[in-house]
């Protein structure tokens, strides 16, 4: 099957070829006809399966040439397509793909990107006369609306990329404010690698008689990324010896594994800085990537990592979504993710575009319950390896303190009061009667 058989024009087919997209992936086969037909869409597919092109290509085909005519005659363009994303990195990535695709179009739509963390003035200047396509994070979009730099009353197509993240409580207020400014008559497209149960009801409220596009990992074609291309391993290790184990894995020779670039996930920015410093002083080229860095610094570090100037990139969940690093061989979960869905997004940074990848997770005795829950929710059957020389000696916490088997999953952890009560009960039990 080719993109032409899906109904795309020749210039868009050629644009896809220039990006290395010779044949549509399974999610593109399902999504492109639905978007071209003007239907609302809820699309769920693994990371790296081609979701961005699945909505950009048909939306570009629907873009009317009258938009360019309006600009030539001096009228302000109305924003027709709004693409909302949760992070700056994903905004830049989607905009880059969009810019590559429109090069073949004559006339071509005006495409802009807006995100926080940088000065708003250059973005306001670029939006003079509005745009045909705008990729934005919700917070910065609302800032632009408040400055009268963009109007949303004529949006015809709304895309929520990483929809599960945008529908989470952390974005709820901003997203609701954006939705209130949009016309009710519009096409709405939701794309994500995961849809949690609590997100399903919210997603249903945004869509009108939607087409459901679902691609499981086993259905991925041989050229698409999927967990089938990722070797997953879990290693038991004491918390205090994780850095030593990481150093051994990175430094050991004749293993047959490609460790020239490794993405390491930690839970906190402070941990990222501390770990990178320790590794660098040990002779390993490691640096950090997190939200406290300026946008320019983050962009530079990411480009240097892609160019293999750094061996290890220590990051928070900021890099779990929207980061595309070609042929990244290894991902390491130094700390467990807070949610089972974040685990899928993290390991999805490797094994992309059909290349083999490896995902290694460190599991401390205190995190065993949390890891078991992640495995259960993601239907994983992974043996917990004992690495020679790193046998665990730490005792797991008592069940009452170990968060009652919920393992720290977001939204299911013990409250502060419950922890205090559990600790008091444990102390009372230890005292002689």
Q: What's the pLDDT at 184?
A: 92
Q: What's the pLDDT at 284?
A: 92
Structure tokens at 352: 């992309």
Q: What's the pLDDT at 430?
A: 55
* Secondary-structure class of domain 227-395 per CATH: alpha beta
136 DSSP assignment: E
Name the 3-class secondary structure at 16. helix
Structure tokens at 333: 């979960």
pTM of the model: 0.63
Backbone angles phi, psi at 333, to 5 degrees: -90, 90
**Contact by Cβ (8 Å): 166, 160:** yes
Cα of first residue to Cα of last residue in the chain, in angstroms, is: 76
Topology annotation, domain 4-219: Rossmann fold (3.40.50)
| Nearest alpha carbon to residue 83 among 53, 120, 105 | 53
**Rounded distance between C-alpha atoms, residue 10 and residue 202, angstroms:** 37
Nearest 5°: the CA angle 102, 141, 126 is: 50
Please, what is the angle between helix 88-102 and helix 295-306, to 10°? 70
The segment(s) of the chain belonging to CATH 3.40.50.300 are 4-219, 227-395
Q: What's the pLDDT at 33?
A: 95
| Nearest alpha carbon to residue 13 among 27, 26, 35, 28 | 28
Per-residue pLDDT of the chain (433 residues; tens, 9 = 90+): 788 889 898 899 888 888 777 788 889 999 999 999 999 999 988 777 788 999 999 999 999 744 444 444 444 568 999 999 998 888 988 998 999 899 878 888 999 999 998 899 999 999 987 799 999 999 999 999 999 999 999 999 999 999 888 988 888 899 999 999 999 999 999 998 878 777 787 888 899 999 999 886 544 433 333 456 789 999 999 999 999 999 999 987 545 456 889 999 999 989 999 999 999 999 999 999 887 787 778 888 888 998 889 999 999 887 776 677 777 889 999 999 988 878 888 888 887 766 778 999 999 999 999 999 999 888 888 999 999 999 999 887 766 444 444 444 444 455 555 555 556 555 555 555 4
Nearest 5°: the CA angle 130, 136, 141 is: 70
**Rounded distance between C-alpha atoms, residue 85 and residue 322, angstroms:** 9
Q: What's the pLDDT at 69?
A: 41
Count of alpha carbons within 13 angstroms of residue 33, beta-carbon side: 13
**Sole residue written with tokens 């096409």:** 187
| Nearest alpha carbon to residue 302 among 96, 50, 53 | 96
Q: Mean pLDDT, the chain, as a whole number?
A: 83
Q: What's the pLDDT at 422?
A: 58
């Amino acid at each position: 099957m080719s993109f032409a058989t899906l109904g795309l024009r020749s210039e868009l087919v050629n644009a896809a070829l220039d990006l290395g997209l010779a044949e549509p992936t399974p999610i593109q086969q399902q999504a492109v006809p639905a978007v071209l037909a003007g239907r609302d869409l809820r699309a769920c597919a693994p990371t790296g399966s081609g979701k961005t092109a699945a909505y950009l290509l048909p939306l570009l085909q629907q873009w009317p040439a009258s938009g360019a005519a309006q600009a030539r005659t001096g009228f302000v363009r109305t924003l027709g397509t709004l693409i909302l994303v949760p992070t700056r990195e994903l905004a830049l990535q989607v905009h880059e793909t969009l810019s590559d695709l429109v090069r073949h179009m004559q006339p071509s739509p005006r495409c802009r990107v807006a995100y926080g963390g940088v000065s708003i003035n250059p973005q306001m200047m670029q939006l003079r006369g509005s745009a045909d396509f705008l990729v934005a994070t919700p917070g910065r979009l609302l800032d632009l609306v408040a400055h009268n730099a963009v109007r949303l009353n004529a949006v015809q197509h709304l895309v929520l990329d990483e929809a599960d993240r945008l529908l989470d409580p952390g974005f709820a207020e901003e997203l609701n404010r954006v939705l209130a400014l949009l016309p009710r008559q519009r096409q709405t497209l939701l794309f994500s690698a995961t849809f949690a149960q609590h997100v399903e009801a919210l997603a249903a409220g945004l869509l009108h008689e939607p087409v459901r596009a679902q691609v499981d990992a086993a259905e991925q074609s041989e050229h698409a990324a999927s967990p089938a291309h990722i070797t997953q391993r879990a290693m038991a290790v004491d918390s205090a010896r994780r850095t030593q184990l990481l150093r051994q894995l990175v430094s050991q020779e004749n293993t047959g594994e490609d460790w020239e670039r490794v993405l390491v996930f930690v839970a906190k920015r402070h941990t990222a800085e501390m770990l990178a410093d320790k590794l660098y002083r040990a002779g390993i080229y490691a640096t950090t990537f997190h939200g406290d860095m300026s946008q320019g610094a983050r962009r530079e570090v990411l480009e240097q990592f892609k160019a293999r100037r750094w061996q290890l990139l220590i990051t928070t969940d900021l890099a779990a979504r929207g980061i595309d690093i070609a042929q990244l061989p290894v991902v390491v979960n130094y700390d467990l993710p807070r949610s089972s869905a974040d685990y899928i997004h993290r390991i999805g940074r490797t094994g992309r575009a059909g290349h083999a990848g490896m995902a290694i997770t460190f599991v401390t005795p205190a995190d065993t319950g949390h890891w078991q829950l992640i495995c259960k929710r993601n239907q994983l059957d992974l043996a917990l390896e004992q690495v020679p020389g790193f046998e665990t000696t730490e005792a797991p916490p008592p069940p009452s303190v170990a968060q009652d088997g919920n393992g720290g999953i977001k939204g299911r952890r013990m409250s502060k009061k419950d922890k205090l009560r559990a600790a008091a009960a444990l102390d009372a039990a230890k005292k002689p009667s």
